[in-house]
């Protein structure tokens, strides 16, 4: 059996999958059509899958990749930001170099007449962190408050959006979270996100309160998935009951706030 060299080029941010061939093609289709739904149809994927991919990219990007335009003669649309266009160009340039590397590896095998991988051959892989948490953000440690047993770590996920997590001092030390500026991943399960009306007079015990605009509500038989657009292109996903949606205060385009208890915020690092 002949041995060949092949692989997939993928860009990770802090160990989390950021850009691959499929996502780049999605961005390119959006650039060409000015529409997420048209881009999804061209790629044979669902509108929800396209939006999930966009949310995942925006949550890890330094700047928003897309901007949405409302109204106009054609009813609005979506276009790439200058940052998004630059990301595509950089990815394609890096992919070209990666293909050149693969070709050199293939030529090397042929030169030495190898039909099977030599003993100890390690194929290059990119390790990605996999998690069931719907909300994953990249950030940096903003503040660290030490306690007798538990510590409070506050992370800036971009544009001044701060999320606090309560973890044991032992965990903080093992993850090296005791210094400001430490790169860290913030993980929050959608079921841990509680949505409420945007009211300044509300009192609550949760340490984290993040407010934004409801961008999408995906109803289900019992629960609904709600997307809350924060600033800097960050999107937070929550799972709420259909009873809550049917109350009427939670509407697409309306304001809402997310309450998240600090012990429900998981921190992870990739070294």
- Give the model confidence (pLDDT) of 196-249 as tens digits: 998 877 788 889 999 999 999 999 889 999 999 998 788 999 999 999 999 999
Flag whether pLDDT at 56 surpasses 90: no
Nearest alpha carbon to residue 208 among 268, 269, 142: 142
Are residues 113 and 151 both part of a single domain?
Answer: no
Q: Rounded to the nearest 5°, which phi and psi values hold at 136?
A: -135, 120
Residue 256: inside a domain: yes
Tokens of 14: 């802090």
Instruction: Tell me if 41 sits within 8 A of 59, measured CB to CB.
Output: no
Can you say how many angstroms the Cα of residue 135 is from the centroid of all Cα atoms in its chain?
7
Are residues 212 and 176 both part of a single domain?
Answer: no
Instruction: Tell me if 7 sits within 8 A of 124, measured CB to CB.
Output: yes
Radius of gyration for the alpha carbons in the chain, expressed in angstroms and rounded = 22
- Angstrom distance (rounded) from CA 193 to CA 154: 17
Pick 108 or 145 by higher pLDDT.
145
Flag whether pLDDT at 115 surpasses 50: no
Identify the helix (H) or strand (E) that includes residue 152.
strand 150-156
Pick 201 or 253 by higher pLDDT.
253
Residue 37: inside a domain: yes
Are residues 51 and 100 both part of a single domain?
Answer: yes
Are residues 51 and 125 both part of a single domain?
Answer: yes
Are residues 85 and 194 both part of a single domain?
Answer: no
Are residues 99 and 200 both part of a single domain?
Answer: no
Residue 269: inside a domain: no
Residue 243: inside a domain: yes
Residue 124: inside a domain: yes
Are residues 6 and 125 both part of a single domain?
Answer: yes
**What are 195-202's contacts with CB under 8 Å, separation 24+?**
195/226, 195/228, 195/238, 195/240, 195/244, 195/250, 195/256, 195/257, 195/258, 195/259, 196/256, 196/257, 196/259, 197/249, 197/255, 197/256, 197/257, 198/255, 198/256, 198/257, 199/257, 202/257
Are residues 66 and 21 both part of a single domain?
Answer: yes
Nearest alpha carbon to residue 55 among 229, 186, 194: 229
Are residues 21 and 113 both part of a single domain?
Answer: yes
Residue 121: inside a domain: yes
Apex 225 CA angle, 224 and 226, nearest 5: 110
Tokens of 132: 């069931």
The domain spanning residue 238 has which CATH number? 2.40.50.100
Nearest alpha carbon to residue 227 among 132, 135, 113: 135
Residue 30: inside a domain: yes
Are residues 20 and 119 both part of a single domain?
Answer: yes
Flag whether pLDDT at 75 surpasses 50: no
Segment among 22-26, 94-98, 176-180 with least mean pLDDT: 94-98
- Angstrom distance (rounded) from CA 135 to CA 54: 13
The domain spanning residue 106 has which CATH number? 1.10.10.10
Are residues 112 and 15 both part of a single domain?
Answer: yes
Q: How many domains does the chain have?
A: 3
Polymer length in residues for the chain:
271
Q: Where in the sequence is the domain holding 228, given as residue range(s)?
A: 190-263
Residue 268: inside a domain: no
pLDDT of residue 202: 78
Are residues 3 and 39 both part of a single domain?
Answer: yes
Flag whether pLDDT at 10 surpasses 60: no
């Amino acid at each position: 059996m002949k041995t060949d060299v092949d692989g997939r080029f993928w860009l990770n941010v802090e160990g989390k999958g950021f850009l691959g061939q499929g996502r780049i093609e999605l961005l390119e289709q959006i650039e060409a059509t000015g529409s997420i739904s048209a881009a999804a149809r061209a790629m044979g994927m669902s509108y929800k899958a396209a939006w999930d991919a966009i949310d995942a990219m925006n949550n890890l990007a330094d700047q928003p990749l897309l901007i949405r335009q409302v109204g106009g003669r054609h009813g609005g649309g979506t276009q790439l930001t200058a940052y998004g266009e630059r990301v595509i160009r950089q990815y394609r340039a890096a992919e070209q170099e990666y293909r050149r590397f693969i070709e050199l590896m293939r030529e090397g095998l042929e030169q030495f007449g190898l039909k099977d991988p030599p003993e100890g051959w390690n194929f290059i892989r990119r390790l990605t962190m996999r998690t069931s948490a719907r909300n994953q953000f990249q950030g940096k440690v903003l503040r660290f408050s030490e306690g007798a047993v538990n510590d409070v770590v506050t992370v800036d996920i971009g544009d001044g959006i701060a999320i606090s997590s309560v973890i044991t001092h032992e965990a903080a030390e093992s993850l090296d979270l005791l210094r400001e500026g430490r790169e860290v991943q913030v993980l929050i399960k959608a079921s841990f996100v509680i949505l409420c009306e945007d009211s300044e007079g509300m009192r609550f015990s949760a340490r984290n309160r993040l407010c934004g605009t409801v961008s999408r509500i995906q109803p289900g038989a019992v629960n609904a998935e709600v997307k809350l657009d924060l600033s800097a292109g960050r999107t937070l996903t929550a799972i709420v009951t259909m009873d809550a949606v049917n109350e009427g205060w939670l509407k697409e385009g309306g304001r809402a706030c997310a309450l998240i208890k600090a012990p429900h915020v998981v921190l992870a690092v990739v070294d």
